[in-house]
Every structure is written in structure tokens, then in C-alpha cells.
Amino acid sequence: MKATELRNKSVDELNGELIELRRAQFSLRMQLATQQLNKVDQVKKTRRDIARVRTVLAEKSKEQAK
């Protein structure tokens, strides 16, 4: 997921995306704890995707405040 793709989405879509990513992160953490996770790099990718979504949400809130 790229930041340019996220910037084209609305705030509601971004909030939905954030919820999905947080659920995926929780699931990955549980799989990691029970040693069922094969692709350990997915945890890092998901964390970074969450950060991207939060960054774009912050940018949009700053734009609305102006």
C-alpha cells in the first residue's frame, strides 16, 4: 500500500482501513505468540501500513483545520 493511494481515499475509508490493519496486526501477534506464523516479516509490514494510514489521517485533519 502506497501513501499516494491512501491520500485518494476519504477519511471514512481510511478509518475502515485502519481498523482492518489493527485486526490483522492482532491476528499476526497471536500467530507469532503461538509459533504458527510462517512469514515473520508480515508483522513489520502491517505496522508500517498502520503508520502510513495514521500519517495520512493526520495530514487530512490538518488540511480541514485550515
The CATH number linked to 54 is 1.10.287.310
Determine the structural domain holding residue 8 and report its residue range.
3-65
Task: Give residue 3's pLDDT.
Answer: 87
Task: Give residue 26's pLDDT.
Answer: 97
- Give the predicted TM-score (pTM) of the model: 0.90
Task: Give residue 55's pLDDT.
Answer: 96
Residue with cell 502506497: 2
Task: Give residue 1's pLDDT.
Answer: 76
Low-confidence spans in the chain with pLDDT less than 50: none
Task: Give residue 50's pLDDT.
Answer: 97
* Number of domains present in the structure of the chain: 1
C-alpha distances (whole Å) from 17 to each of 24, 30, 33, 34, 35 are 11, 20, 24, 26, 26
